[in-house]
Amino acid sequence: MPKEKFALISPEKAGLIQELVLRIKLILRLMADRRVNFFLKFLPIAALVYLFSPVDLAPGLTLPVIGALDDAAVLWMGASLFVALCPDNVVQEHLDKLRKATPGLWREAKRESEIIEIRPQEEE
C-alpha cells in the first residue's frame, strides 16, 4: 500500500485544514467510484451515523473530554479504514487528480528584486 494513504500531512507540508479538505474530497470521490466495493462504502456512512446517533460509547455529560474524543476517533477510524481498504490504484488515481486540481501551496512571497513582471505586447 502507498505510504501516502496513511499520511495525515503530505510531504509538501500542506496545512492541516488543506489536507483535511483533500481527504474529504478523496472519500467523496471514492464513494462515487463504481470500482470500490459497495459494502465497503458503509464504513464512512456508519461513522457519520454514529456521530449523530444518541447511542454513545462515552457520554459527553459524564466524561466531557473523552465523550468528544470518542466521536472524533470513530470518524477518523472509519475514514482511514475506508481509504486503506479501497483498491490502491483507485485511491492513487483520485489523489493524483485532486492534487493536480488543487491550486498552489502557500509560501512566502519572493523579494521584490526576484519578481519578473510580464506585460502583454501592444498590437501595432
Q: What is the DSSP letter of 57?
A: S
Q: What's the pLDDT at 112?
A: 62
- For residues 46 and 39, the answer to whether their CB atoms sit within 8 Å is no
Tell me the C-alpha distance between 4 and 28, whole Å: 17
Cβ-proximal residues to 61 (8 Å cutoff; 6+ apart), any chain? 67
Query: What's the pTM?
Result: 0.62
Outline where 14-87 has alpha helix (H): 16-32, 42-52, 64-85
Domain assignments of the chain as residue spans, ordered by start: 12-102
Cell of 116: 519578473
pLDDT tens, the chain, 124 aa long? 455 555 544 445 557 788 888 899 999 999 999 999 999 999 999 988 888 876 666 565 566 666 667 778 888 999 999 999 999 999 999 998 888 864 555 556 566 666 666 777 776 5
